[in-house]
Every structure is written in C-alpha cells, then in structure tokens.
Structure 1
C-alpha cells in the first residue's frame, strides 16, 4: 500500500533528471477495508498545481461513487460530466477504479514531457499498471480554470 508514495519520490528524482515534468500529484491508498486515504503532494501546490478540490473530487468519483448507489446517480452523472468536459472520460475513471483494489495504492499525476520507456525502465523494481488519459491544451486550460489551486502565501 505504500508503493505509490515510494514511486512518487522516485518520479521526483526522474523529474530532476528531466525525464518527466510533474505539475501535480496525489496518492490514494485503498485499505483492505475499502477505505481510501488521499495524500496530495503539498510541495507542488502553487503555479501549476490543481489543489485538493480536484484530487478529492476525482478520487471520490473513482472510489466512492460506485458504493453510494442509485440515490446519488444524478450527482454522480453531473460530476462525471464535469470531468468529461475537461477530457477525463468514464472509461478512464472505470479503469482506474477496477485497477486499484483493496490493499493497494495509486499515484495520480498531472504530468507532461514524460519519456515513458526510460521511466518504465527506471521504475522496473515496482509492480504497476499505467492508466492514462491525454488532455489537449484546451482541456488543460479548462481543468485549471475549474480546479486551480490558490496561490500559497509566503
């Protein structure tokens, strides 16, 4: 359950080596009980970061909506629609929900310029699946407008 956090640290190192540009990150740990704990990468809050509202909503839709049942179907549809508007479709959400079972963790990244072959090679000691979606520049702008983190005051 702690591999996603370890992997995040490894990816920060790969970013220093210019193999990836990470704009924001969050880790979701799904305990054996099914309970999900979210840890945002606070070191990235600021310029390109999306903030807790985005990660909380996305991870909530992925992990909690299926268990809340029909009573909130309209809310789930509205939230899903909000993500579809910014290029994160139901297929991506469903695939992530199916991949991250109880007793495991997931690393969520908003990243660009990733040299995937080199990254996979560097992270070969970890057991992981990559579930990805690509956002157009317009989708990225809409995502930032909807969920931009507030500036961190010094």
Structure 2
C-alpha cells in the first residue's frame, strides 16, 4: 500500500505570538476536517535571540499513557499467573508508564528537530515561525482562512508544488516564489 507524502510548510511571522495564533487556526480547521496535520511546531525567537520550540504533540505524555495501559495489561496477565492480578496490574502500570515516558522523550516524530532548529535560527529576533506537516487539506478553504494573516506572514520553505506554493504566497500577500539561486 502506498501512502501519500505529507507536505512541509514553514511560515514566518512578524511577531512572537502570531505563529501560535496560526497554529490555533490550523487546529480549528483540523476539527472542521479541512486540514489533516501530521505534526506542527511553533518556533519563537525572543529579543535576546533564544529559540523556544513548542511541539504540538507531547511525545512524553503519549508514551507514558501508552506504557501505563500496556504495562497494566501485561502486569495483570503475569499477576494472574502468580494468583495476584491486582498487584501485577499496579506494578505493570508503574513500570509501563515510566518506560513509555522515557521512550517518548527519546523519540522524534514528524518534523526533524535539527531541521527546525537550523531554520529557526535564521528568523529575526522578536518573531516566530510555524512548521506544519500536512497530510491532506482542502486547499481553497484553508487558503481563504489563512488570508487573515495577510501581510504579517511570509513563506520560508515548502515542499509544495510551485503552483500551490504560489497560491499560498498569494493568500499571505507575498509575491510569487523567488527564482532559485544559480
């Protein structure tokens, strides 16, 4: 089975809070089934030049939840063999949650963190950027909604086709995509 590739879109904003507002708007579109996000990260560069990454998926919490349930199941099963399923469930849940949290903290999902940090380092102080990995979307409806950020945002990088990238740039009030450097 072949899976469709996701599109990476990175949009820079003129202030520190606009990327968060744009992510909130994307989450609203996702609830309306107009946008399907695989991953999203907000990068904020403060006045002192420090980068702050806000992941939309907390892998540590997801790992702990998964570990809690799977550990509880396996612990209860082993406890049942030892005639004490409650003790096995409790012990398995604790061990599973801890192991899941560690695994979640050490894993990377979606957009590569090194790429985010390297591109994020290029944005000016007191600005922000939104990195989104889009599985699928309803482009006309999404672009119409993104027009609220017109004049305050610019496309930094995409994996979109040139035609779709130009449509996104037009929705944000930018000129057509710059010609690639020779």
What TM bracket, shorter-length normalisation?
0.5 to 0.7
Provide the aligned length of Structure 1 versus Structure 2: 98
- Cα-to-partner distance string for 1:106-137 (whole Å, 9 max, x where unaligned): 11111121233321211222222233115xxx
Tell whether 2:139 aligns with 1:116.
yes
The aligned residue for residue 13 of structure 1 is 28
Give how far 1:54 is off.
5.0
Give how far 1:53 is off.
9.1
Q: 1:118 to 1:104 in 2, by over 3 A?
A: same
Tell whether 2:174 aligns with 1:129.
no
**Which has the higher Rg, Structure 1 or Structure 2?**
2
Structure number with the higher strand fraction is 2
In the alignment, the residues of structure 2 paired with residue 53 and residue 23 of structure 1 have an alpha-carbon distance, to the nearest angstrom, of 7
Which ranges of 4 or more aligned residues in structure 1 deviate by more than 4 Å? 43-46, 52-55
The aligned residue for residue 113 of structure 2 is 56
TM-score between both structures, scaled by the size of structure 2:
0.46
For structure 1, which runs of at least 5 residues remain unmatched after alignment?
Answer: 65-96, 135-154
The aligned residue for residue 128 of structure 2 is 105
Larger RCO of the pair (alpha carbons < 8 Å, separation 6+): 1
Give secondary structure in 2 for the equivalent of 1:106.
strand
Give secondary structure in 1 for the equivalent of 2:39.
strand
RMSD value over aligned CA atoms? 2.8
In the alignment, the residues of structure 2 paired with residue 51 and residue 114 of structure 1 have an alpha-carbon distance, to the nearest angstrom, of 24
For structure 2, which runs of at least 5 residues remain unmatched after alignment?
Answer: 1-15, 64-106, 161-182
Q: 1:23 to 1:53 in 2, by over 3 A?
A: closer
In the alignment, the residues of structure 2 paired with residue 116 and residue 132 of structure 1 have an alpha-carbon distance, to the nearest angstrom, of 14
Give secondary structure in 2 for the equivalent of 1:101.
coil
Q: 1:53 to 1:10 in 2, by over 3 A?
A: closer
Give secondary structure in 1 for the equivalent of 2:41.
strand
The aligned residue for residue 56 of structure 2 is 41
- Cα-to-partner distance string for 1:29-73 (whole Å, 9 max, x where unaligned): 011222110010126867xxx837954311222244xxxxxxxxx
